[in-house]
Amino acid sequence: MTSTSTTRGARDHARAQAAAADERFSRRVPAGGPDVLWHETVEGGNYAVRRLPRGARLNLRDPDGDTSVQLLVFNAEAPAERLNVADTVKVQWQAYLGAGQLLLSDMGRVLMSFESDTSAGHDTFCAMSNRAWNDAKYGDGAAHGDAPNARDRFAVALAKAGLDRRDIGPSVNLFKSVVVEPDGSFSWRGDGAPAGAEVVLRADMDVLVALTVTPHVLDPRTDYIVTPLEIEAVRGEPASNDDAIRTATPESIRAFENTDDWLLR
Amino acid sequence: MTSDGTPADTVVADEVVAARQPWSHLVRAGEVLTIIDLEGNQAVDFLVYCADDPIERYSAADTMTGQGNVYLTTGTILRSNEGRAMMTIVDSTVERHDTVGGACSRESNSLRYGHHTNHQHACVDNFLQALGPLGMGKRDMVSNINFFMNVPVEADGSLGIVDGISAAGLSVDLRAETDVIVVVSNCPQINNPCNGFAPTPVRMIVTDPS
């Protein structure tokens, strides 16, 4: 007779598992007090989805120096409003994201802003892998295969927030960067990122954040290599009227004005 | 047959899209869509959806990563979000086209040019007007192509819509690799050089070479 042949045995077996688990990947009630909103480590190939209140600081850390994150952001109250990568780069006249920059919605508002950034750079061009890409590159790109593709992971993540595949628009890539050469070609700059790099994003409205931790599509390595992402979100103050990011450019001033307008109740 | 005896492609559609107007058309596999910039430097904002399942749709990222280059030109394969070839640029008399800059909207115009532009006609409104009868809406919008629009990306990442490199009569030919729904906004923008500050008509010709 196995230990799980009875209800009582199955229950004890189930309950014993948490104690034996790798704590790193165990979601738990944050120990940091009421201001800690989210604490989770996402292993390579996996996803996370979370609602964060305005003012929250989302700390995304690359403890081992080889994580790769695809990020989508939605207005939590009205998710038809979402990250618009084209507007994000066009309005800011800049394709390379970093400290001080905004993630803009398709409604001319600020979803989140980059409060600080110790990474080696990000990417706004290449978005995410899909099944066909990962099948061709790694052999089995199925959502629960050996090399999960980002798009199918997002489909599941977003379904848990009531959204679906229609809602998977272009993402930004964090912690892996590419640059555009004068002839328009991409050059990979994703190697040699510093271990321990951290990006702090401020939520400038209530947001729904969805992310996958999968290799960047242009990662030249033929093995599926991506190290975990450490997430910690804490409650915080929204941007003040003299906030340095808000007041940095005419475009950012108006983006925050539009956001303030949305927040009128 | 034409007068010189060569087989004439069957013209499936030949329409002029007035300045500032949307347009959509089902282009069947093998058919070729020719877009003609009639008066020069007129941005044509362009989205394309798989006709059998529009959740599969144009992906700027898949198109760029698929060819390793941000600029669209002759030979570029327009790829879907599932990586599939949707259309191929079989010819372009303009050196290159853009798929980084997205579509203008009232809302982004307000950031770029001032809140007073929030009530001006913009591409997103055209797209939404055209997508509605197709059973689609805002959630179905993704980063688009801007034919005849010039958006250089500089070494430091600076980018922007600058003076165009198109001219009157230049064109682009797109062969459908599967049945696709093309949705276009003939860009109404008057605040930047994408239309030379004056929107003009474009001509859309669909031919069947078979």
DSSP secondary structure letters along A45-70: T-EEEEEE-TT-EEEEEETTS---EE
> What average pLDDT does the segment A179-205 reach?
95
Stated length of chain B: 210
Which pLDDT score, from 0 to 100, does residue B1 have? Answer: 43
Q: What tens digit of pLDDT does each residue of A201-213 get?
A: 999 999 999 999 9
Which pLDDT score, from 0 to 100, does residue B81 have? Answer: 98
A132–B61: do the CB atoms touch at under 8 Å?
no
Token digits of residue A224: 């599926």
* Chain B neighbors of A106, CB-CB under 8 A: 105, 107-108, 124, 138, 141
* Chain B neighbors of A166, CB-CB under 8 A: 55, 139-140
B120 in contact with chain A, both atoms CB, cutoff 8 A: no
The shortest C-alpha distance from A263 to chain B (Å) reads 16
In our burial notation (b when 16+ CB lie closer than 10 A, e otherwise), range A210-223 reads bbbbbbbbbbeeee
**β partners of residue A72:** A210
CB nearest to B69's CB, from A130, A133, A186: A186
Q: Residues 155 to 214 of A: which have CB under 8 A from any B CB?
A: 165-170, 179-180, 182-186
The shortest C-alpha distance from A51 to chain B (Å) reads 19
B115–A179: do the CB atoms touch at under 8 Å?
no
Could you list the beta-strand ranges (E) of B80-124. 85-92
Neighbours of A225 (CB within 10 A): 11
Which pLDDT score, from 0 to 100, does residue B4 have? Answer: 59
- What is the chain A residue with the closest CA to B84? A132
Q: What tens digit of pLDDT does each residue of A136-170 get?
A: 999 999 999 999 999 999 999 999 999 999 999 99
CA-based radius of gyration for chain B: 16
- What is the chain A residue with the closest CA to B140? A166
The shortest C-alpha distance from A221 to chain B (Å) reads 15
A108–B110: do the CB atoms touch at under 8 Å?
yes
* Chain A neighbors of B64, CB-CB under 8 A: 125-126, 186
CB B174 within 8 A of CB B28: no
The shortest C-alpha distance from B156 to chain A (Å) reads 8
A87–B160: do the CB atoms touch at under 8 Å?
no
Which pLDDT score, from 0 to 100, does residue B114 have? Answer: 96
CB nearest to B71's CB, from A169, A184, A217: A184
A246 in contact with chain B, both atoms CB, cutoff 8 A: no
B135 in contact with chain A, both atoms CB, cutoff 8 A: no
* Chain B neighbors of A72, CB-CB under 8 A: none
Token digits of residue A19: 């104690």
Which pLDDT score, from 0 to 100, does residue B210 have? Answer: 82
**Dist CA A117 CA A229 (whole Å):** 15
Which pLDDT score, from 0 to 100, does residue B5 have? Answer: 54
Which pLDDT score, from 0 to 100, does residue A27 have? Answer: 65
CA distance readout (Å), B194 to A131, B29, B103, B183: 35, 30, 11, 19
Question: Model ipTM?
Answer: 0.95
Higher-pLDDT residue of A265 and B59 is B59
CB B144 within 8 A of CB B102: yes
Which pLDDT score, from 0 to 100, does residue A262 have? Answer: 96
Could you list the beta-strand ranges (E) of B63-179. 77-79, 85-92, 145-147, 170-176
Q: What does each of the 210 residues of chain B score in pLDDT, given as a tens digit? A: 455 555 568 999 999 999 999 999 999 999 999 999 999 999 999 999 999 999 999 999 999 999 999 999 999 999 999 999 999 999 999 999 999 999 999 999 999 999 999 999 999 999 999 999 999 999 999 999 999 999 999 999 999 999 999 999 999 999 999 999 999 999 999 999 999 999 999 999 999 998
Residue A29 has pLDDT above 70, yes or no: no
Which pLDDT score, from 0 to 100, does residue B12 have? Answer: 95
CB B14 within 8 A of CB B208: no
Which pLDDT score, from 0 to 100, does residue B2 have? Answer: 53
Q: Residues 11 to 50 of B: which have CB under 8 A from any A CB?
A: none
Confidence of residue A34 (pLDDT cuts 50, 70, 90): confident
Q: What share of chain A is helix, strand, coil (3-state, %, to 5)?
A: 20, 25, 50
> What average pLDDT does the segment A172-200 reach?
95
B100–A95: do the CB atoms touch at under 8 Å?
yes
Q: What tens digit of pLDDT does each residue of A49-100 get?
A: 999 999 999 999 999 999 999 999 999 999 999 999 999 999 999 999 999 9
B111–A258: do the CB atoms touch at under 8 Å?
yes
* Chain B neighbors of A130, CB-CB under 8 A: 62, 81-83
* Chain A neighbors of B81, CB-CB under 8 A: 130, 151, 168
Token digits of residue A99: 């400290």
CA distance readout (Å), A161 to A50, A75, A231: 9, 12, 19
CA distance readout (Å), B160 to A88, A154, A185, B98, B116: 12, 30, 17, 11, 21
Location of structure tokens 């030109």: B73
**Dist CA B27 CA B50 (whole Å):** 10
> What average pLDDT does the segment A231-246 reach?
97
